Homo-oligomer: A and B are copies of this chain.
Amino acid sequence: MARDTRERLLTTARDLVHASTYADVGVDDVCRAARVNKGSLYHFFPSKQALGLAVLDRNWELMRALLDQTLGAQGPPLDRLDAFLAGYASMMRTMREHLGGVPGCPLGNLAAELSAHEPVMRARITEVLAAWTDRIADVVREAQVRGDVEPTLDATSAARAVVACIQGYSVLAKAEDDPGALDPLRPLVRTLLLLPR
């Protein structure tokens, strides 16, 4: 029961943040939309920041699930990376249907919204982006072992370029409210990893 309430608050907060911004969503909005009183919210999340961090962690859980599902599958490493990018684009389409507009990257949005006054949130976002980059760097290294990617390429830098491209095209997709803006991402990433430096 308590678990259900916590989950409802978290899911509601996540949807509200996606549909607008973290700054725009107040604790009152979450209570109203989740039909939970404020005391109960503060029982589970002692501050807006605690709720924000929980939303960030949930977003990362969902991204990690997609990473596990695609990068952890069978097949050549670059094909698995491609499957991840396809899954990401497909997630963006689903979220658009659910929320009425392309929400952009749930993790990147929180990063772009960061202010200098939120060191805790910033630290957690940096960790999450690093963990995401590590997952992609592992695939790049696997591809290097197979000879699919130039062995002299620094895997972490290459993975950061991939994450940066995902973030950048997500900003365009959000601005234009068009998930199709993500279409160039898959060929671009493949070219990036295959090109001679």
A115-B21, A195-B195 given as contacts; is B177 within 8 A of A172 (CB)?
no
In the bound assembly, the distance between CA atoms of A100 and B157 in angstroms comes to 26
Tell me how many chains of this kind the complex includes.
2
Find out whether the CB atom of A115 lies under 8 angstroms from the CB atom of B176. Answer: no
- A51 near B: Cβ within 8 Å? no
Bound form: Cα–Cα A157–B160 in Å: 21
Please state if A174 and B101 are interface contacts (CB–CB under 8 Å).
Answer: no
Q: Does A165 contact B (CB under 8 A)?
A: yes
Contact of A175 among B126, B166, B174 (CB under 8 A): B126
Q: Is the CB of A163 within 8 A of B174?
A: no
Contact between B197 and A191, CB atoms less than 8 A apart: yes
Q: A19-B115, A19-B116, A114-B174 are in contact. Are A165 and B168 (CB under 8 A)?
A: yes
Chain A residues within CB distance 8 Å of chain B:
19-21, 23-24, 99-101, 104, 108-109, 111-117, 122, 125-126, 129, 157, 160-161, 163-169, 171-172, 174-177, 184, 188, 191-192, 195-197
